[in-house]
A = this chain, B = another copy of it.
Amino acid sequence: MDVGIVGLGLIGGSLAYDLKRAYKDMKIVGFDHNKEHCIKSLELGIADKIVNDISEFKNLDLIFLAIPVDGIISVLQGLNNINKKTTIIDLGSTKEKIISAVPPSIRKNFVAAHPMAGTEKSGPTAAKKDLYHGKTVVLCNIEDSGDIHANLAKDVFEKIGMKIFYMDAKEHDKHAAYISHMPHAMSFALANSVIKQENPKAIVALAGGGFKDMSRIAKSSPDMWTDVFRQNKKYLLNAIKSFESEFSDCKKMIEDEKWDDLHEWMASANRLHKIL
């Protein structure tokens, strides 16, 4: 199978590692605007060949789009005359805007996927073997993909050890706002609030595991996350408001010294781990 990967970063690079292990004869053709990423990917064995133009992807069996979500929409326009047999899978964190931007001529070729895996790092050197193993991938509006394309996508994700969830794109974007996008906003806000204090170095010198966990994803790429926030504006704002309301309740209980209520509120939060 000949596979193209657009975007040789953490997501695309890690995928290449896992695909090569799952499929013995797989050849991976890479494309990335960043020439250093291209060179690094060849060195690391992520890509077997680099192309300079997306048009050279025309006769591949399968193309993955592993770039920021605005980039996915733009690349999809350039693939509008792709071979009917080529499957295109995007790996973006938003789904509704991407799906609605797919050119009708290639809607059957297209499978919308969101693997719930990643780290705060980026670039091909951040790529990790086994990043996807045991993780969840959400496939959206799969009924609009052609059967051969939907089946290939399922096979590939299963073969690299992922658990597949099917979901409507709107539902996905709503859930992803709570599970991923809004927590990124929280982490960025935490980092900025600490940085703006008088002596941030003295503060972070005391950091234990809790703070490190809460601030880890504040290291994430602004390029990637500005796109995500823009594309998921509506649901993200809903999630942000829901968090703000909880956080403000907490503040008010402290101000009013309602310690029993605060205890109950914390105990309620503990319940999350019964379903997580």
Could you list which residues of chain A lie within 8 angstroms of chain B, going by C-beta atoms?
116-119, 135-136, 138, 165, 171, 175-176, 178-180, 182-197, 200-220, 222-223, 225-226, 229-230, 233, 236-237, 239-251, 254-255, 257, 259, 262-273, 275-276
| A267 with B206: CB separation less than 8 A | no
Beyond the given A183-B190, A186-B214, A222-B264, please list 7 additional residue pairs across the A-B interface where CB-CB is below 8 A.
Answer: A185-B250, A188-B265, A213-B213, A213-B214, A229-B262, A237-B255, A244-B248
Give the complex CA separation of A223 and B264 in angstroms: 10
Determine which of B192, B200, B215, B250 lies in contact with A188 in the assembled complex, contact meaning CB atoms within 8 Å. B250
Looking at chain A's contact residues, the main secondary structure is: helix
Give the complex CA separation of A204 and B255 in angstroms: 31
Which residues does chain B contribute within 8 Å of A194, judged by CB atoms? 178-179, 272
A-B contact pairs, 22 of them (CB 8 A): A116-B207, A116-B208, A117-B208, A175-B202, A175-B203, A179-B204, A179-B207, A180-B211, A185-B250, A187-B269, A188-B269, A192-B272, A193-B239, A193-B242, A195-B268, A195-B269, A196-B242, A210-B217, A213-B216, A222-B266, A230-B259, A241-B251
| A29–chain B nearest beta-carbon distance, Å | 28
Look across to chain B and name the residue whose beta carbon is closest to the beta carbon of A238.
B197
| B200 with A275: CB separation less than 8 A | yes
| A254 with B272: CB separation less than 8 A | no
Which residues does chain B contribute within 8 Å of A237, judged by CB atoms? 251, 254-255
Given A222-B263, A268-B192, A212 contacting B276 (CB threshold 8 A): yes
